[in-house]
Structure 1
Amino acid sequence: MTNSVIFNAMRTTLLGLLITLLCTGVRAQTTVHVTLPQALADSALDGRLLLLLSQDSTAEPRFQVTDGPDTQLAFGRNVSDWEPGTTVTITADDRGYPIASLAGVPPGSYRAQVLLHRYETFHRADGHTVQLPMDRGEGQQWNRAPGNLLSTPVTVTLRADRSGPITLTLDQEIPEIEEPDDTDYVKHIKIRSKLLSDFWGRDMYLGAHVLLPEGHADHPEVKYPLAIMHGHFPADFGGWRTTPPDTTEPCVYSDRFGLDCYNRIEQQEAYDFYRTWTGPDFPRVIAVEIQHANPYYDDSYAVNSENLGPYGDAITYELIPEIERQFRGIGEGWARFVYGGSTGGWEALAVQVLYPDDYGTCYAACPDPIDFRAYTVVNLYEDANAYTLDSPFKQTERPARRDSLGHVSTTLREANMRELVLGDRSRSGQQWDIWEAVYSPVGDDGYPQRIWDKVSGHIDPRVADYWREHYDLTHIMQRDWATLGPKLRGKVNIYVGDMDNYYLNNAVYLTEQFLRSRDFGGEITYGDRAEHCWNGDPEQPNAISRLRYHRMFIPKWAGKVGELAPAGADLSSWQY
């Protein structure tokens, strides 16, 4: 070997080592030290530590981590037994969204904030010990949860050479949320669920906001049907307002609907509902919005689950009978009807299918995927990968969200990467993780088994098979139609926009194919160019129809109950 060859080889080796050292140095210097002051904690804490960076000054960074193109940056890591007075370091090895690592963040000035989403340790009845963020009255929102610790946003500079670490300090705690007060019409109920407490190994509660009919106090002998609206966590009874819109409030523009002063439109709709509810012609029923936030999400999907526990039984056999006892409900299956949109639409159909004798009718608007052959845009039983179309030579990313013209704002991969930063092991409190938590069997570690690998998107067919048999509502109806069919006839009604933002109409098409092959006696309707969450009202645009669930479905049920109620049912005393 000649000297020149040896020299060139040595030069190449040294250059490689230099590049490695430089890259390693930059990576090592991309660090953020976070201090937990002794004044904010009296014992060691567990949870998810999030670093939030933003170049948008319109809001705190904690409110700017979205799945759309306007998102800012987040980086997350778990902390365990974090002692007060000590420091935890976030490094380039910790996962980020939408930039995968701190090392990839462009140099510049950022508003920085850190937040600790606190976890509680549960010793469940199934023998597993898990750490999860218990809901604390906020509806499982990591950026608003009482007891979470955070820092005041400050401006930091990331230099091109990444010289020097950044130091941030948690300096405040999100305060508790006050319970809403009862009024003449709106009451609040909260019960300890024995079923759920036994499962979780600590006291667990179910609640509801209850809207009493006009004349309830004046007719103490009357018992009423129950109108049960399922859906996401309601801070109070949604869509109810006893005063006209507050014109002194600044107008809020709706980007989604392109409407100015949409906040006043919402207030006007809520006030109109109050006047309709108390008017002479509205059906006299008890309207209920259930509160079932839990350690995984802002509601439980109202079914029994290996990971969440027996929420279906707890709601059906503990909460609803107690509401009927306290507020004079009829207390029979025919006199309970369910409705809702999105998550609530899936729940309405699910409880009707899984508890056919306990509920009399369902109205499911824009339901979450009710057939897992169209799990939004993924066929869980045939596709190999959730994130990309199956192809030997190219990767086409699957979309997660579109507008009414089909313009895509996020992909399935992006939406799931966001969740993985906010919380691993299905603990993000977001949409894909809650589906996994509800539908999946428990893994060996006590957390939900992944339907697909969160990083690669590879689908696990064994988990998909479990989902099919337990929660694929179309499959369950088809499998059990011999016994279910007579109990569901006339009770299944589905509404969805054909441009639903999350492609939820795709599953409805498949469900419709089956139901129309049977004498199901219900209604399936599509809204032309309607987005999420159209409720079936042909007279109103999406921006209005989504605000009229009570007004839409309560009269619809009252007009049909005579066809569905058993002989001898009381259909008159509550119709004063």
Structure 2
Amino acid sequence: MRARLAGALCAALLVVTGTTAAGVSGHGRLRFAVTLSPSAARQAGKTAVDGRAYVIVSRKGDSEPRDQIDIAGGVPFWGRDADGVRPGRSVVLDAGSGTYGYPLKSIASLPAGRYSVQAFFNTYDTFRRGDGSTVKMHMPCGDGMDLFNSPGNFSSTPRWVDIDPARGRTVDLTLDKLITPSQPVPAGGTCQQGNPADSAHVKHVKIQSPALSKFWGRPIYIGANVLLPAGYDPNGSVRYPVEYHFGHFTTNAPRGFREDGGNSFSQWWLSDQAPRFIVVEVREENPFYDTSYAVDTPNLGPYGQATTRELIPEIDKEFHTIAEPYGRLTSGGSTGGWMALASQVFYPDVYGGAFAGYPDPVDLRREQIVNVYGDGNAYETVREWDRTPRPDSRNVQGDTNYVNAQENLWELARGGRDRSGGSWAMWEALFSPQGKDGYPAQAWDKASGTIDHSVSAGWKAMDLSAKVAAEWPTLGPKLQGKVFVYVGDTDTYFLNTAVELFQQRTDALTGPSSGFTFVYGRAKQHGWSPYTAQQWFQIYADYVAGHAPRDTDVSGWRGPRATPRLSASGGEIVPPEKHVGLPR
């Protein structure tokens, strides 16, 4: 899950005035007039911009206000959509309609005081997509959809302002800074084409995807970070199994590898003790999130096709891989755990085994703790006389860090129509059908949390548990014994509850039996694994060798055999029947 960036209100269009900021009258109301400077616009090569304007305030000056935004404990900010903003013209944010904030919904709720104030503008591109829809969204640029640090966006220089909403005033803020790409941009090209620098064992691949470019109506690139084993010879004859390790966008070396051997994994990877694998981490940032979830969806487009039919063949062409399903394993944790499992389920003829850790919701009877098919409200448990907030994040002792409404409303303030870059918005883009306006159909009202079951019913197409059960006669022979899931039984985001439902459902399958393995860590939170990376690769090596065709020579890559037993959890294994309160 979680580069947990946040979401958005389908807010009314931002007021774009035809006057300069100095010409906006207060009329007893606190207003912020945000103006795009001509110099910043020229630097960006823009004569006008579409997007969403923000104002952020903080009582602290140790960092920029935009860097202090968070779900719990963050500073107040407000946002509003704006189209056709020209240099020298103002966008006004005030207590009127169209401006929405978090944790203070209205600017009028801001207490009087002295604040460090900053304006920000998230730019939207217009995509005329191949499916006939037109949407306006921000295209990340090697930043993994880090909204408040994403290239192409504008910010103002923070300044201290004395504010008293009761007296009213207009605070003028000028967007005088353009965020520029941090990764290389080819001469005459775009930032989406750039690649990090290669090293001896770490290589990078990036291709323009025909399928995605057709869908989005413009060139779209996908890439990968590739870690090669010790002794890899590009002119040699040995072919190596591949771990497709899924996760959030990164340009770092896979598995934290360092060429100088500066950590234990790197030292082991280059030693004689390590089996020889190739590790591939896919880079697929997109207008919704920092990763695509590697499947085909109506809202994100054919990322599954782009990964399996375009990127993997390119990797097989460039490197000495075992280009057969038995030689391709998927792995990952959290968001990457869902991707590892989904890749195996949706593309069982491409991959040969999934090792999924603490995955995003794999059974949508528990999207965290929301039953999207049966519950009436995503934010609260609603009874006749009372309502109880649904927790979103917890610690191992059971204390609530924040509730569902907080994260969803945080996303609501960041951008409407699932343009927040947040987890809940991305899940809606992943699971929902496309809405009539071209954006994801909303499964619940963003302000109230009321669930629209006519939309959430359509989530079953991407519900991994439902898909496996419904298609078991076809999938069973291809998946039997090839799924391994591990999670802490007090996962921070309650993801263990969906894993348990997935186990209950798949344990009941017959003809054939599933043979899936589930491991639960007692009192372990999000990020728990029963094994170290080194141990996992020993497990992978035995697994691939055991699934290789008869008489396959595995001596060139397998290495020493000292494999831990996969059924051992490194802690207590907690069967799902010992848990209480789960729907049966």
Q: TM-score, normalised by structure 2?
A: 0.86
Partner of 1:57: 61
Deviation at 1:552, TM superposition (A): 4.1
> Secondary structure of 1:155's match?
strand
> Secondary structure of 2:389's match?
coil
> Secondary structure of 1:557's match?
helix
Deviation at 1:353, TM superposition (A): 0.6
Instruction: Give the alignment partner of residue 131 of structure 1, picking from 136, 142, 147.
Output: 136
Aligned CA distance change for structure 1 residues 499 and 57 (closer, same or farther; 3 Å): farther
Partner of 2:38: 38
Map Cα deviations across residues 5-58 of structure 1 (whole Å, 9 max, x no partner): xxxxxxxxxxxxxxxxxxxx9996121011111111131001111111112333
Deviation at 1:162, TM superposition (A): 3.1
Deviation at 1:141, TM superposition (A): 0.6
Q: Which has the higher contact order (CA 8 A, sep 6+)?
A: 2
Map Cα deviations across residues 179-230 of structure 1 (whole Å, 9 max, x no partner): 4210000001100100000111110001000001111127611111111100
Deviation at 1:79, TM superposition (A): 1.0
Deviation at 1:355, TM superposition (A): 0.6
Partner of 2:88: 85
Deviation at 1:574, TM superposition (A): 2.9
> Secondary structure of 2:542's match?
helix
Residue 210 of structure 2 corresponds to residue 210 of structure 1: no
Partner of 1:299: 291
Instruction: Give the alignment partner of residue 514 of structure 2, picking from 515, 520, 535.
Output: 520
> Secondary structure of 1:452's match?
coil
Rg (Cα) greater in structure: 1
Does the 8 A contact of 2:241 with 2:544 survive in 1? Answer: no
Does the 8 A contact of 1:404 with 1:501 survive in 2? Answer: yes
Does the 8 A contact of 1:26 with 1:161 survive in 2? Answer: no
Map Cα deviations across residues 277-335 of structure 1 (whole Å, 9 max, x no partner): 11102111110110000011000011101011000111011001101110121211111
Does the 8 A contact of 2:246 with 2:332 survive in 1? Answer: yes
Instruction: Give the alignment partner of residue 67 of structure 1, picking from 62, 67, 71.
Output: 71
Letter in 2 for 1:45: V
Gaps in structure 2 of 5+ consecutive residues: 1-24, 185-195, 560-584
Deviation at 1:340, TM superposition (A): 0.2
Aligned CA distance change for structure 1 residues 28 and 376 (closer, same or farther; 3 Å): farther
CA distance in 2, matches of 1:400, 1:101: 24
How does 1:147-546 map onto structure 2 within 5 Å? 147-179=152-184, 180-217=196-233, 220-238=236-254, 239-243=256-260, 271-468=263-460, 470-518=461-509, 519-537=513-531
Deviation at 1:411, TM superposition (A): 0.9
CA distance in 2, matches of 1:162, 1:72: 22
Deviation at 1:525, TM superposition (A): 0.7
Does the 8 A contact of 1:35 with 1:86 survive in 2? Answer: yes
Aligned CA distance change for structure 1 residues 217 and 155 (closer, same or farther; 3 Å): same
Partner of 2:79: 76
Deviation at 1:575, TM superposition (A): 3.2
The farther-off stretch of 59-68 and 371-380 is 59-68
Letter in 1 for 2:65: P
The farther-off stretch of 78-87 and 216-225 is 216-225
CA distance in 2, matches of 1:404, 1:482: 39
Deviation at 1:160, TM superposition (A): 4.9
Does the 8 A contact of 1:366 with 1:500 survive in 2? Answer: yes
Deviation at 1:87, TM superposition (A): 1.1
Aligned CA distance change for structure 1 residues 552 and 420 (closer, same or farther; 3 Å): farther
Partner of 1:12: none
Aligned CA distance change for structure 1 residues 205 and 88 (closer, same or farther; 3 Å): same
Partner of 1:105: 110
Map Cα deviations across residues 410-429 of structure 1 (whole Å, 9 max, x no partner): 11111011101111000000
CA distance in 1, matches of 2:517, 2:534: 18
Aligned CA distance change for structure 1 residues 350 and 218 (closer, same or farther; 3 Å): closer
Does the 8 A contact of 1:496 with 1:534 survive in 2? Answer: yes
> Secondary structure of 1:553's match?
helix
> Secondary structure of 2:381's match?
coil
Instruction: Give the alignment partner of residue 118 of structure 1, picking from 99, 112, 123.
Output: 123
CA distance in 2, matches of 1:508, 1:318: 31
Percent of residue pairs identical:
42
Aligned CA distance change for structure 1 residues 453 and 196 (closer, same or farther; 3 Å): same
Letter in 1 for 2:258: R
Gaps in structure 1 of 5+ consecutive residues: 1-24, 246-270, 538-547
CA distance in 1, matches of 2:395, 2:261: 32
Deviation at 1:568, TM superposition (A): 4.6
Partner of 1:560: 543
Tell me how large the CA RMSD over aligned residues is.
1.6
Deviation at 1:390, TM superposition (A): 2.5
CA distance in 2, matches of 1:62, 1:485: 49
> Secondary structure of 1:401's match?
strand
Deviation at 1:237, TM superposition (A): 1.6
Partner of 1:143: 148
Q: Could you say which structure has the higher helix fraction?
A: 1
Q: TM-score, normalised by structure 1?
A: 0.87
CA distance in 2, matches of 1:380, 1:78: 29
Does the 8 A contact of 1:28 with 1:91 survive in 2? Answer: no
> Secondary structure of 1:171's match?
strand
Does the 8 A contact of 2:201 with 2:259 survive in 1? Answer: no
Q: Size of the alignment, in residue pairs? A: 514
